[in-house]
Every structure is written in structure tokens, then in C-alpha cells.
Amino acid sequence: MLLCTLSDSFRFDLLHPGFDRALAFLRQPDLARWPKGRHAVEGERVVAIVEQRDGVGQAAAVLEAHRRYIDIQYTVAGQEVMGWRALSECRQPREAFSDERDIGFFLDAPQVWVPVPPGHLAIFYPEDAHAPLAGTGPLHKVILKVAVG
């Protein structure tokens, strides 16, 4: 897991071939005006999901993990908190991993909770189980899905 401000995210552009395009998408001056939903940034290689919804709080947030995509979760507005636990330490799957949806959920509790305030982003690799939407109140987020390979 990586955490930084959007203004400091340039250091991550070279970490992965899709990060430069994904982070450039987040740096758009009109990002807050993008409509809710799924948007192709670079085909299926980089996809943006714009969400506006209420956080569920830490007690209701569920760990999830992905195999084919890296998540870049950016907070546009609201008080987001995200949980983290190493996937290798998750012992209680909630259900079978969905290859079709590229997601698996876990009953394990996060080891740490991290505030991700507006203007900040968190990057979760496939080895990072993460519990998004653990903040409270209205949240405006952009989740970028960056293909691993």
C-alpha cells in the first residue's frame, strides 16, 4: 500500500506502465465534475470508477482484494478511511473469489486504519487486502483500476 497527496504522486508515475495515465486522469482540473459511473481511461487497461456515496464506517467496512488490477483510490471530497491487511494474512474468505468481477472479500479485520482525506490517494496492489468506504458521511471518490500486466 502506498499513500500520498495527489500533488506528490508524480514520484509513482514510473512504478508501473499504467500509473502515468491513471495519475494524469486524477490531475485533471475538472475531475470533480465527472459523472458517477465507469469510464474507460485506456481501454480495459486503465478504468476510472467515479463514486458518490456514504461511507459505511469501520465496523461495516469489508476487506477486499483483486488479482488482475491495482486499485488507486482517490478522495475528491469527504472523510474517507481505509483499512489494510496483507493478503497473505487473510485467513477467512467471505465467499469464493470472483474471477469475473476480479474481487474477493474477507471476514478478517484490517490491521490498520488509514485516513485518506481529500486530495490524497492510496494505491493497493494485489497483495494488499483493503477495506474502502470506512469513512462516514458523504464521500466523493475516484477509483482507478490499473491492469497488473
Residues 6+ apart with CB under 8 A from 32: 76, 77, 140
pLDDT at 75: 98
Domain ranges across the chain: 2-147
* Degrees, nearest 5: CA angle 131-134-138: 135
pTM given for the model: 0.95
Asked if the model's pLDDT at residue 149 lies above 90, the reply is no
Q: Quick one: pLDDT band at residue 137, thresholds 50, 70, 90?
A: very high
User: Could you tell me what percent of the chain has a pLDDT over 90?
Assistant: 95
Contact of 59 with 134, CB cutoff 8 Å: no
Say what the pLDDT of residue 58 is.
98
Neighbours of 92 (CB within 10 A): 10
127: pLDDT confidence band, cut at 50, 70 and 90? very high
13, 19 Cβ separation under 8 angstroms:
yes
| Mean pLDDT within 103-120 | 98
One CATH from 2.60.120.370, 3.40.50.850, 3.30.530.20, 2.120.10.30 for 2-147? 2.60.120.370
**Across residues 128-143, what is the average pLDDT?**
98
Query: What is the separation of C-alpha 46 from the centre of its chain, rounded to a whole number of angstroms?
Result: 13
Asked if 146 and 70 count as a contact pair (C-beta separation under 8 A), the reply is yes
Cβ density class 41-73: b for 16+ within 10 Å, e for less:
beeebbbbebeeeebbebeebbbbbbeebbbbb
